[in-house]
Amino acid sequence: MAFTLIEKSSEQRTSQPNLPAYQSGDSNPQACQIDGLPGGAINIAYEAVDRHLTKGLAHKDALRWHGKKGQRCTYSYAQLAEQTSRFASVLDSLHLQPGERVFGLAGRVPELYIALLGSLKFGAVFAPLFSAFGPEPIRSRMEIGNASVLVTTERLYRKKIQPWRDQLSCLKHVLLLDVKGELPSGCHDLSEQLVQADPLFPVARTAPEDMALLHFTSGTTGKPKAAVHVHQAVQHHIRSAYYALDLQPQDIYWCTADPGWVTGTSYGIIAPLCHGLTLIVDEAEFDPRRWYQLLQDEAVSIWYTAPTAIRMLMKAGDTLPAEYDLSQLRFISSVGEPLNPEAVIWGDQVLGLPFHDNWWQSETGGIMIANYAASAIKPGSMGLPVPGIEVALAKRLPEGKVEILPGNDVTGELVIKAGWSSMFRDYLGQPQRYQSCFSQGWYLSGDLARRDADGYYWFIGRSDDVIKTAGHLIGPFEVESILLEHPAVAEAAIIGIPDPVAGEIIKAYVSLHSGYSPDEVLRLSLLGHARKHLGAAVAPKEIAFRENLPKTRSGKIMRRLLKARELGLPEGDISTLESDEK
């Protein structure tokens, strides 16, 4: 794929980058070090909140919250320390034991952030859930995670939990955030409990390998997997954010991800607080004008968002950003799925800054590969490994072994040398499935990638997404990126469908920008555009128009679901699916 190298001038930088020149080794600068607790203990909540009280940050804004109805409230680090201690005290008053699981089911409200950090401070394990989940996805995750406590809202409880609560024997307590009328039977009013709780409840001296977080990730079949992360993970949260997101103490930081997803936890809460930043939280759903207004009013300097949101901003028009003062922005980044080249270029041309893509997974717990503040960007590339992380490309061999592919200009499965601090430690209750993710000391990501002559990594697709047609191995990302260059296309996804001659042929599903009609003229135009840029062997043979493409609630297009529907196969786990048009 052709690309335009984006070199960043010194005028585009308002501060010295944390990584002025790329290096693979991790020097562990002072800004990346944790304080720890006596006896070698590590607690994420202590590193994120309480340690700052002795460093002159007690009265600094830790969290600025914007409600969907126009409310705004602020918590200083001292206030956040007090509230999280109170929550830990509430768990103690309920006779919870360290290591028991607290599940959070709520929108982006301050109480959810307090509950997460307070649970870790107590020594409990926190498992975030996305508030838009239906009753069955919620129940299955709470069963897998053996939930002892649920923190949620009265509305969500009555609608999604109450009908089956008595069938979940492990659930001991429900803490409601916003009781307005009569308290539902068997629930606690969290606001009342917090008032009576101890504001100085001490931080638990958790061991580095003590379980801290459960992040659920969906597979193609079967039940969701619960990836286990430990308190030591905070070391990589801090380092990766320092290098890959260029976090610096003066920054105002906004990660748009919901805490129900790993990004919203690792980089929406933990990393920015560990660096002593002020983080912005917006309760409302996506709205282009609201987002630009928030970037302006809060003088956001670092913005971490998702490709789906970027494409929606692009769809809203190139002139809209000019209505707002976005001059404080100095670094913008993206994660969730590969970022197509045109989105990177659009950011550079329209916002004055290119988006910096990065790559990681729920299992890695943190960013593994990234584009850096001081490095040139190759639009469409994931970038270079985070310092201290050893990444390679491999070929799977029989009997579970792998062959590492040396040099550059190679393609293979992306693998990571095991042992980094935020690496998941287990799939809860599925030890064999966990062991199958490793071979000869390498974590097997299941993603195929290419390493170019300069060492940059390029995402090709999930190993089960790659299409073999007429002897060619085709990754969906490259084809989708070319389709997205057509002015009519808002989103695209490709799949392989069986063909008696070619083995598979490529079929593309596209949704259109407003003003374009899904007619035969446009279909032929798209086919011609793809053939021109990709060649006949790689270009789609069929185009299907859709109003919407099926996506997870975190924004990833579900190619496997398109393929299952096309071929009449089982759809597998669709608990994270947004509403879509079949």
Query: What backbone torsions phi and psi does residue 161 show, to the nearest 5 degrees?
Result: -115, -45
E strands in 130-271: 147-152, 173-176, 188-189, 211-217, 225-230, 252-255
Query: Could you tell me the two tokens for 135?
Result: 């009753």
Write out the residue range of the structural domain in which residue 522 sits: 464-567
- State CA 493 to chain mean position distance: 20
If you search the block for the tokens 């100085």, which residue do you land on?
200
What distance separates the 2 farthest-apart alpha carbons in the chain? 72
Task: Identify whether 493 is part of a domain.
Answer: yes
Task: Provide the b/e sequence for 498-507 (b: ≥16 CB within 10 Å).
Answer: eeeebebbbb
Q: Measure the CA angle with vertex 94, ends 91 and 98; round to 5°.
A: 50
If you search the block for the tokens 């990730």, which residue do you land on?
217
Sheet holding 369-370, edge to edge: 72-76, 61-66, 278-282, 252-255, 302-305, 331-334, 355-359, 369-370, 384-385
What are the residues facing 101 on neighbouring strands? 125, 147
Per-residue CA distances from 573 to 137, 189, 570 (Å): 9, 34, 9
How many C-beta atoms surround the C-beta of residue 186 within 10 A?
Answer: 13
Q: How far apart are CA 175 and CA 148, in angstroms?
A: 11
If phi > 0 it is left, if psi is from -120 to 50 it is alpha, else beta; for residue 91 that is alpha
Q: How far apart are CA 417 and CA 397, in angstroms?
A: 17
Query: pLDDT tens digits for the chain (582 residues)?
Result: 445 677 765 455 567 999 999 988 877 899 999 999 999 999 999 999 999 999 999 999 999 999 999 999 999 999 999 999 999 999 999 999 999 999 999 999 999 999 999 999 999 999 999 888 888 888 889 999 999 999 999 999 999 999 999 999 999 999 999 988 889 999 999 999 999 999 999 999 999 999 999 999 865 445 789 999 999 999 999 999 999 999 999 999 999 999 988 999 999 999 999 999 999 999 999 999 999 999 999 999 999 999 889 988 998 999 999 999 999 999 999 998 788 899 999 999 999 999 999 999 999 999 999 999 999 999 999 999 999 999 999 999 988 899 999 999 999 999 999 999 999 999 999 999 999 999 999 999 999 999 999 999 999 877 766 676 655 557 677 788 889 989 999 999 988 888 776 677 889 999 999 899 999 999 999 999 988 877 776 789 999 999 988 887 666 788 878 888 887 876 666 666 665 554
Task: Identify whether 544 is part of a domain.
Answer: yes
Query: Could you tell me the two tokens for 337?
Result: 């799925």
If you search the block for the tokens 């072994």, which residue do you land on?
401
For residues 98 and 123, is the Cβ–Cβ distance under 8 A?
yes
Task: Identify whether 540 is part of a domain.
Answer: yes
Q: How far apart are CA 139 and CA 369, in angstroms?
A: 34
Within 8 A by CB and 6+ apart from 74, the residues are 61, 63, 64, 65
Listed residue (129, 108, 133) closest to 294, CA to CA: 108
Q: What is the pLDDT of residue 553?
A: 66
Determine the length of the chain: 582
| 252-255 vs 302-305, strand pairing mode | parallel
Residue 185's SS3 state is coil
Number of domains in the chain: 1
For the chain, helix (H) and strand (E) counts, in that order, are: 16, 28
* CA dihedral angle for residue 301, residue 237, residue 140, residue 553, rounded to 10 degrees: 30
Element (H, E) at 480: helix 476-484
What are the residues facing 303 on neighbouring strands? 254, 332
pTM of the predicted model as reported, rounded to 2 decimal places: 0.84
For residues 184 and 175, is the Cβ–Cβ distance under 8 A?
no
Query: Could you tell me the two tokens for 49?
Result: 């909140």
Task: Identify whether 224 is part of a domain.
Answer: no
Element (H, E) at 414: strand 410-417
Element (H, E) at 302: strand 302-305
How many C-beta atoms surround the C-beta of residue 466 within 10 A?
Answer: 15
Q: Is 516 exposed, middle or buried (0-12, 13-18, 19+ CB in 10 A)?
A: middle
What do you get for the CA distance between the two ends of the chain, in Å? Answer: 31
Query: What backbone torsions phi and psi does residue 173 show, to the nearest 5 degrees?
Result: -140, 145
Query: Could you tell me the two tokens for 132?
Result: 């838009």
CATH number of domain containing 499 = 3.30.300.30
State the DSSP code for 383.
B
Task: Identify whether 519 is part of a domain.
Answer: yes
Task: Identify whether 478 is part of a domain.
Answer: yes
Listed residue (200, 198, 140) closest to 167, CA to CA: 140
Q: What is the pLDDT of residue 580?
A: 53
Query: Could you tell me the two tokens for 442?
Result: 């390498």
Residue 145's SS3 state is helix
How many C-beta atoms surround the C-beta of residue 26 within 10 A?
Answer: 15
For residues 345 and 379, is the Cβ–Cβ distance under 8 A?
yes
Q: What is the pLDDT of residue 10?
A: 47
For residues 375 and 354, is the Cβ–Cβ distance under 8 A?
no
Task: Identify whether 501 is part of a domain.
Answer: yes
Q: How far apart are CA 408 and CA 86, in angstroms?
A: 53
- State CA 508 to chain mean position distance: 26
Q: How far apart are CA 392 and CA 405, in angstroms?
A: 7
Task: Provide the b/e sequence for 75-92 (b: ≥16 CB within 10 Å).
Answer: bbbbbbbbbbbbbbbbbb
Q: How far apart are CA 559 and CA 572, in angstroms?
A: 12
In one letter, which amino acid is 61?
D
Element (H, E) at 101: strand 101-105
